[in-house]
Amino acid sequence: MNSNTYKIFGIGLPRSGTSSLNQALSILGYKSLHHPTYYIMDKLNGSFSFEGDWDALTNFGEHFYPQLDELYPNSKFILTTRDKEKWLNSCRWKYQEPSNNLGNAIRISIFGCDRFHESTYSYIYDQHTRNVIEYFKNRPNDLLVVDWGLGHGWKELCYFLNKPVPETPFPNKNSKQEIILLDRPINYKVKRNTGLNNIPNYFYSEILSQAFLGNKLAKIMVEFVKKNKFNKTKKR
């Protein structure tokens, strides 16, 4: 638990090392929330922990750092970066096809399109990096820029947060190999963790929409689905 009053925000784009940052912050003792997936699962399970006790957010609102800066004064911001060609290749692999309704909405909010488009992604990457650095140019103590691929890790992160360096190796999370092994698309994780595996897609999409908006109706809908044992396929 963070004993200080500040919050920590990871404001790097997806596929830039945000999962590793989230894991590293957790190892350092912070309660770190990562990606809208976990926020949505909380809503579907009737938990509103996001609104309560947390220390850090990663891969969650990376474009809203000015608003977060205003809402949470004295906070720390961490911009994860990556060799752009490697980042584009990772995004090409991950985002080459449209996702579900929620995934598409998240992609559009960040990149302006629901699937990978190289020139668009390249422009957004450069623009985001440039804008963040410009915004914090006179506040070097509030922004840390890291690239795990260059060997950055515990030394830079712990110095920035005034934490002792742990003995455990720095985490390397959410690699392509790990995603393949763990099968981690958003809809799979949400369905698996809420027991919604067999409901019709149209109903599932509506529940996700309600949850993403923070509507407690999502919890009621989940309970209704479980009680009535919805199933996509009719028994003959």
- Whether residue 163 lies inside any domain: the answer is yes
Give dist(CA 85, CA 126) in Å, integer: 12
Higher per-residue pLDDT: 88 or 197 = 88
Tell me if 131 is assigned to some domain. Answer: yes
pLDDT band at 229 (very low <50, low <70, confident <90, very high): low
* Enclosing domain of residue 99: 8-182
Q: What tokens does 33 get?
A: 């929330």
How does pLDDT run across 32-41, given as a tens digit for each residue? 887 655 555 5
Tell whether 219 is covered by a domain: no
> Residue 11's pLDDT band (boundaries 50, 70, 90)?
very high
* Lowest mean pLDDT, pick from 26-35, 54-63, 175-184: 175-184
Q: Would residue 209 count as lying in a domain?
A: no
Longest Cα–Cα distance in the chain: 68
Q: Evaluate whether residue 176 is within a structural domain.
A: yes
> Coil, helix or strand for 77?
strand
State yes or no: pLDDT of 204 exceeds 70. no
208 within a domain of the structure (yes/no): no
Q: What is the CATH number of the domain that holds 69?
A: 3.40.50.300
> Per the structure, how many domains does the chain have?
1
Q: Which residues of 54-72 are buried (b: 16+ CB within 10 A; e: fewer)?
A: bbbbbbbebeebeebbeee
Whole-prediction pTM value? Answer: 0.70
From 186, 183, 227, 185, select the one nearest 208 (Cα to Cα). Answer: 186
Convert the pLDDT of each residue in 49-101 to its tens digit: 455 577 998 887 788 899 889 988 999 999 999 999 999 998 888 888 776 66
Tell me what pLDDT residue 37 has: 59
**Structural domain includes residue 199:** no
Residue 141 lies in a domain: yes
